[in-house]
């Protein structure tokens, strides 16, 4: 690792921290721009009760002071304050609870997308323009164009309502099968296309020809040279894939009633549970930013020739 790479990494980490701070700031001020504050719109409460509530949650202090406290609580104690709708529970606890299911869902989806995508992409590249390549490309094109909520709804209609093969409720382990397939289809299709094109690119390189000329076996060429090099672009997709899985989980958990963070987020928006909306947005955003950071740095370290500027 030379000093240039190091400089890049430091700069990139700085940008990531800045981004998370911007997210926190935007979220805080945007939520506080809502007219009437969080206690309006519920059952009519008296002015004194409202004032009591506001002083309890610190809403009567000046905005900048509230902002300072909020920022300090997040940094020092990872504390997003109490939930307004689930009385007596802290936002951090609710998020941690939902994360258990969502992380399981997301990690399994990401890995299945990665494995299936790389295998299908390599097969398509090695059998270029054959029937199997064409079939793979048609399906991946279709999956890339279908929004996740459409895939989810259609699969729910087909597999749990029409055929009744799999449960529609995502609370059990078997019930997680459909959500995982739904979430992984798009990244799978994307990785397939990415692997195919980069594999085709690598197979045309001189060093592959040299290896062939030296009499290296086909298996060794594919696994030793081609696959390793064609996976480099796939690394860049890690960040966007996580972003997709996070946003996709919002609808997928809604469709299949999975008790995860995505469903908690959506219902907190409809319930106007402001601290919960803010906390979830910040945690998910930080997750995406960190993942983008890791995938960018990994990309740079794996292949130092790449100039990201």
Partner 1 sequence: MMKNKFTMHVDMDAFLPATEEEKKYMVQMRPSSTFFKDGVKRLVKNRVALVSFIIIVLVTVASIVIPFFWPYSYETMLGNTPGKPVDSSYNNLPPFTYGKTEQARIEAGENIFPHVFGTDAAGRDYFIRVVYGTRISLAVGFFASIIVLIIGMTLGSIAGYFGGKVDMILMRIVDIIYSLPDMLMVILLAAVMKLVLAPVIEGTILAKIGSNIISLFIVFGVLYWVSMSRLIRGQILSLREQEYVLASQAAGAKGGWIIRKHLLPNCISVVIISTALQIPNAIFTESFLSFLGLGVNAPMPSLGSLTSDALNGLISYPYRMVIPALVISLIVLSLNLFGDGLRDAFDPKLRG
Tell me, residue by residue from 89 to 128, as one string, x for binding to partner 1 by CB under 8 A and - for no binding.
Answer: ----------------------------------------
The residue within the footprint of partner 1, chosen from 6, 10, 34, 52 (CB under 8 A), is 34
- In the complex, what is the shortest distance from the CB of residue 250 to partner 1, in angstroms, rounded to a whole number? 7
Q: How many residues bind partner 1 (CB under 8 A)?
A: 45
- Per-residue tokens: 118: 């790389």
The residue within the footprint of partner 1, chosen from 39, 67, 139, 149 (CB under 8 A), is 149
- Per-residue tokens: 67: 């902002």
- In the complex, what is the shortest distance from the CB of residue 144 to partner 1, in angstroms, rounded to a whole number? 8
- In the complex, what is the shortest distance from the CB of residue 124 to partner 1, in angstroms, rounded to a whole number? 15
User: Is residue 25 involved in binding partner 1 (CB under 8 A)?
Assistant: no
The residue within the footprint of partner 1, chosen from 202, 251, 252, 261 (CB under 8 A), is 251
The residue within the footprint of partner 1, chosen from 2, 35, 62, 87 (CB under 8 A), is 35
Phi, psi torsion values for 272, nearest 5 degrees: 60, 45
The contact set with partner 1 (CB under 8 A) reads: 15-16, 18-19, 22-23, 26-27, 30-31, 33-35, 141-142, 144-147, 149-150, 153-154, 156-157, 161-162, 197, 243, 246-247, 250-251, 254-255, 266, 269-270, 277, 281, 284-285, 288-289, 292
């Amino acid at each position: 690792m030379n000093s240039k790479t190091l400089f890049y990494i430091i700069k990139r980490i700085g940008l990531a921290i800045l981004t998370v701070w911007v997210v926190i700031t935007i979220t805080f001020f945007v939520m506080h721009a809502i007219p009437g504050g969080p206690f309006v719109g519920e059952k009519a409460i008296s002015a004194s009760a409202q004032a009591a509530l506001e002083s309890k949650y610190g809403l009567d202090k000046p905005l900048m002071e509230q902002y300072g406290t909020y920022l300090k609580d997040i940094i020092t104690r990872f504390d997003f304050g109490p939930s307004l709708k689930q009385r007596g529970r802290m936002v951090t606890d609710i998020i941690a609870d939902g994360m258990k299911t969502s992380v399981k869902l997301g990690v399994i989806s990401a890995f299945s997308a990665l494995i299936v995508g790389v295998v299908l992409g390599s097969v398509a590249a090695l059998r270029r323009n054959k029937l199997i390549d064409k079939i793979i490309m048609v399906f991946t094109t279709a999956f890339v164009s279908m929004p996740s909520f459409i895939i989810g709804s259609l699969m729910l209609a087909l597999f749990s309502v029409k055929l009744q093969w799999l449960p529609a409720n995502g609370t059990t382990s078997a019930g997680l099968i459909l959500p995982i397939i739904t979430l992984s289809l798009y990244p799978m299709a994307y990785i397939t296309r990415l692997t195919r094109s980069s594999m085709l690119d690598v197979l045309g390189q001189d060093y592959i020809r040299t290896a062939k000329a030296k009499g290296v076996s086909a298996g060794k060429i594919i696994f030793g040279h081609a696959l390793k090099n064609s996976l480099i672009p796939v690394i860049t997709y890690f960040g966007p894939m996580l972003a997709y899985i996070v946003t996709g989980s919002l609808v997928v958990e809604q469709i299949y009633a999975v008790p995860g963070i995505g469903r908690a987020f959506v219902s907190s928006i409809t319930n106007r549970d402001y601290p919960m909306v803010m906390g979830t947005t910040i945690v998910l955003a930080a997750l995406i930013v960190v993942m983008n950071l890791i995938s960018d740095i990994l990309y740079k370290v794996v292949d130092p020739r790449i100039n990201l500027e």
